[in-house]
Structure 1
Amino acid sequence: MSFTVAIDGPAAAGKGTISKAVAARFGFAHLDTGLLYRAVGAKVLAGAAPVAAARALSPVDLERDALRTPAVAQAASEIAVNAEVRAALVAFQHEFACREGGAVLDGRDIGTVICPQADVKLFVTASPETRARRRFDEMVNKGMDVAYDSVLADVRERDARDQSRAASPLVAAEDAILLDTSDLTIEAAVAQAIAAVDAVYPDAG
């Protein structure tokens, strides 16, 4: 049977970690849809046209380590406002969401656009300051030379762009469960997400 969990939210809110944990707990497949846009962004940085890059995307393109760089993240956010790019990636996401055995998709428009009929919808968020601190710490731990104020400015800029874009803006679905991780440990946040799925999934427990 198919069972779809849609997890949306802004950057560095914790949705990726939560999504992986939920998928592992229930044995569902997991797709970080942001990687689709990062992969296209990486191709664009290499000289490809955005729409052509999106249409030619393959699963192998999602496995590159270089997709986690700030430059690729910026490119991904910029091309994500392109309606043709988004349309080219929708079929990939729809097919994944309907796979047998259950699926968890995390991104920014899963519950509102990609899977509006998802069995469970979560909107994971946190304050801009909290998310910037998490991203800053992550980058510093990787040996990157960055300033917190710069990271915070990037977070706020990306939020504004994601929330104001005409195509699939970042917004919580009306029936999504809000999970604010600002003051939660990752363990507590994961526990709340699992409980939300447990309440609906027929084979839970």
Structure 2
Amino acid sequence: MKELRIDFEDNKDNDIDTLSKEILLRVKELKENRNIDIEALIISLPSYRTIINEEILESLGDIDIFVSNAMSEKEDTNKVTVIVKEKEIFRIALDGPSASGKSTIAKILSGILGIKYLDTGAMYRAITYYLTKNNANLECEKDIDSKLNDINISYLKEDILINEEVVTDKLRTDIINKNVSLVSSYSSVREKLVNIQRDIARKNSIILDGRDIGTVVLPNAEYKFFLIASAEERAKRRLNDNESKSNYSYEKILEDIKRRDYLDSTRKISPLKKAENAIEIDSTNMTINEVVENILEYIRGIK
């Protein structure tokens, strides 16, 4: 965790509120100049002070504040020292083909590690949902481009919204499954969503899953994993997926997965590809818990 230091002189005539406002001002200046996210403040006060007004510092957000008196031979010292502890931010990129278990694994890791989770696949599905609902010509990139500025993606807790419509439960239908790879292949769609994804990941410890997270979206992610499984195993998982709204048979799902693998890996823009420094995990014969534990061992430095 990085630490930054602020030193300044206090005026004995100032009241507690004035001192607290001065601390707030100095920390805000540092925060804005360095573009940092703060975890905690350690404030060392002159010997003649014992407290500050922590309510004044609440505008900095949810941070820990520790206050102590300076240890000095000069009892009349008026020096104030503020140690700003920066939040430790790390990003996990979890890539892999369709139905390889990325979203399930990412959600579990998010809960264990206490970090945010961003389902990038759901974002592409949400755009596909909007386009099909509004009768866009999915074969015509110009038609799609003309509609992108009308699309606003947001989140409300665990729900994804398109123009304030909750669409979470509408993203696993056969029509979405069939068309999401095509929609995802267009450069304008990818540019719009990649910018959103990078902005979200910029100041948060987070796990993102997708097909190009480690290669394009977050090439500097601290941890990268590439999750694979046989097409047959992935088809079985999709068939038994409680969240899936598909009415396809196993054979049809298998055919669709192989088609999507081809489209995702051969598209010109950000193809499905393992990052050079990503750790590959074949989950074909592994349980969900085994995959999670495997990834955690790498993150914790056990492997």
Matched, 1:22 2:105: no
Matched, 1:177 2:279: yes
| Further displaced range: 69-78 or 32-41 | 69-78
Matched, 1:71 2:165: no
- Give the equivalent residue in structure 2 for 1:51: 145
Contact kept in structure 1, 2:173 and 2:246, CA below 8 Å: no
- For each residue in 1:41-63, what CA deviation from the matched residue of structure 2 results, as whole angstroms up to 9, or x when unmatched? 00110125433554423212284
- Give the TM-score of the pair, scaled to structure 2: 0.62
Q: CA deviation at 1:35?
A: 0.8
**d(CA) in 1 for partners of 2:90 and 2:245?**
40
Larger Rg over CA atoms: 2
Contact kept in structure 1, 2:194 and 2:217, CA below 8 Å: yes
**d(CA) in 1 for partners of 2:217 and 2:244?**
33
Helix, strand or coil at the partner of 2:226: strand
- Give the equivalent residue in structure 1 for 2:203: 99
Helix, strand or coil at the partner of 1:160: helix
- Give the equivalent residue in structure 2 for 1:85: 189
**d(CA) in 2 for partners of 1:162 and 1:168?**
9
- Give the equivalent residue in structure 2 for 1:189: 291
- For each residue in 1:12-34, what CA deviation from the matched residue of structure 2 results, as whole angstroms up to 9, or x when unmatched? 11111111111111111000100
- Give the equivalent residue in structure 2 for 1:203: none
> Identity over the aligned pairs, expressed in percent?
35
Contact kept in structure 2, 1:6 and 1:105, CA below 8 Å: yes
Contact kept in structure 2, 1:3 and 1:98, CA below 8 Å: no
| Change in CA separation of 1:96 and 1:143 when aligned onto 2, cut-off 3 Å | closer
Contact kept in structure 2, 1:108 and 1:170, CA below 8 Å: yes
| Change in CA separation of 1:142 and 1:16 when aligned onto 2, cut-off 3 Å | closer
Helix, strand or coil at the partner of 2:203: coil
Matched, 1:147 2:249: yes
**d(CA) in 1 for partners of 2:148 and 2:300?**
35
Letter in 1 for 2:99: A
**Correspondence for 1:129 among 223, 232, 248:** 232
In structure 2, runs of 5+ residues without a counterpart are 1-87, 137-142, 155-160
Matched, 1:163 2:257: no
**d(CA) in 2 for partners of 1:21 and 1:132?**
21
Q: CA deviation at 1:138?
A: 2.2
**d(CA) in 1 for partners of 2:237 and 2:271?**
23
Contact kept in structure 2, 1:51 and 1:88, CA below 8 Å: no
